[in-house]
Structure 1
């Protein structure tokens, strides 16, 4: 697993979302690296990380991360990366000092008892399109992430540029990642988390609705929730300085 480390200070692990790679954190990481030692993870089959079938099986993935990142650290995960970080907190609590869930849902797809998520029919249609045309599906996903942002063109431009800077993710890795989004249910992990935890949501997010806040705090009353106004699924791209401020306020508590 490829991990790039930059900056000085307390250890901060950053885990990207579905279909992207660690480069997506620019320029937020430039700001954070002034005060933290940032460890930028490329998930299996993404960025510069190799892919082997089974790499996204949760016990395998968590064990790989635990081996590669031996130090206790703050964990910051975006979207799918937030689910990985939450699962890491449950499986290896000694590895996680504080947890930040950025535009991330412990249950990504709606169920009867979890309406604050993506509609199952929308997710299924999206998944089916990946098998037909991967490139077009990735572009559609970029558009979904930009939707609702106050500067959608900036988000589309930056996400597209980051995707183009690396080889496209392995098709099997993309399918495995979608399977994780469809099947993982980490609500129990959120309920039992025992380290300081922040959930950052975006007001206009079309993938992880801001209404999640009402449901998440019922699972974890100690959760700190920050909702960023006027932004979509990638608030750290639209407003990196504002996002840095929200993150560091929590970390310095």
Structure 2
């Protein structure tokens, strides 16, 4: 059985992956663990401590699986490679080496963090809308996202604050330069949060930052193809 572990990004819990459920092949075992502080997962006392995060996530991140980290989830998964045994491979979905490398400047992120401190719920809702700007039908994608997540953040405020700090601080450039396992990069061609596409990135056409919502079947096919490539197993 080939295994995929799907890791969500800032402000979204594991339900973001639900649209992919009908599209997996029979030979794929998929798990969607929540980060600590999201969903039903207990928050960490120090949510920005990567060693504590690694310890909490160890049971959910087996070495024989292909990890898929989306957005902040990709940054965190790559950072955890320095704390955990390497997996079969890592897919960075919608993830640059630094979050502030592209359209979102450090100053804009700092302003977003100040806005979150003033009104976390409204700022969270604004971010959900903003990240959907590259989808072919943003309003439809937003309705789907609200249906999945509801009207309140799916994580503790301390966890969300720590996540924003990680978006500002994490830089996985050195890990990409000397990876401990195969790393593949996948993104929507119209992702509004990323810099210009690089030669090592595979593009999902007609998709933005959230291909889980706009192109779930295509995303599932791409991930299964990467799983076949890195595992050497043909899926049923």
Shift, 1:162, TM fit: 2.1
Change (3 A) 1:32 1:88: farther
Match of 2:156 in 1: 170
Determine the structure 2 residue equivalent to 1:227. 203
Secondary structure, counterpart of 1:91 in structure 2? coil
Range with greater deviation from structure 2 (52-61 or 140-149): 52-61
- Residues 107 and 117, structure 1, Cα contact 8 Å, conserved in 2: no
Shift of 1:117: 5.3
Which of 84, 87, 96 matches 2:87? 96
Quote the Cα distance in structure 1 between the aligned partners of 2:21 and 2:82.
25
Question: Which residue in 2 is equivalent to 1:213?
Answer: 198
Structure 1 residue ranges, 4+ long, deviating more than 6 angstroms after superposition = none
Q: Is the 8 A contact 1:44 1:56 kept in 2?
A: no
- Structure 1 Cα separation of the partners of residues 142 and 76 of structure 2: 24
**TM-superposition CA deviations, 1:47-94 (whole Å, max 9, x none):** 1111133133112111221244445211001001111221233432x3
Q: Distance in 1 between matches of 2:170 and 2:76?
A: 10
Distance in 1, matches of 2:152 and 2:115, equals 22
Q: 2:47 aligns with which of 41, 55, 58?
A: 55
What's the CA shift for 1:140? Answer: 0.6
Aligned pairs for 1:1-253 within 5 A = 9-32=1-24, 34-92=26-84, 94-110=85-101, 116=102, 118-164=104-150, 168-209=154-195, 211-214=196-199, 217=200, 225-253=201-229
Task: Tell me whether 70-79 or 162-171 shows the greater mean CA deviation.
Answer: 162-171
Measure the CA separation in 1 of the matches of 2:137 and 2:27.
27
> Do the aligned partners of 1:226 and 1:246 also contact (CA within 8 Å) in 2?
no
Alignment partners' CA distance in 2, 1:26 and 1:72: 23
Distance 1:166 1:136 in 2: 9
Q: Work out whether residues 74 and 91 of structure 2, in 8 Å CA contact, stay in contact via their aligned partners in 1.
A: yes
**Separation (CA, whole Å) in 2 of partners of 1:50 and 1:165:** 21
Q: Is there any run of 5+ residues in structure 2 with no aligned partner, and where?
A: 230-236
TM-score by length of 1: 0.83
What SS is found at the alignment partner of 1:243?
helix
Q: Indicate if the aligned counterparts of 1:73 and 1:95 stay in contact, CA closer than 8 A.
A: no
Say whether the 8 Å CA contact 2:44–2:53 is kept in structure 1.
no
Using the TM superposition, name which of 137-146 and 28-37 deviates more. 28-37
User: Could you tell me how far apart the structure 2 residues matched to 1:157 and 1:145 are?
Assistant: 13
Aligned residues: 229
Partner of 1:135, secondary structure, is helix
* Cα root mean square deviation, aligned: 2.0
Any stretches of 5+ residues in structure 1 without a counterpart? 1-8, 111-115, 218-224
Where 1:109 maps in the other structure, the secondary structure is helix
Residues 100 and 168 in structure 2, CA contact (< 8 A), matched pair in contact too: yes
Deviations 1:79-134 (A, max 9, x none): 01111221233432x34001111001221113xxxxx3521122111111111111
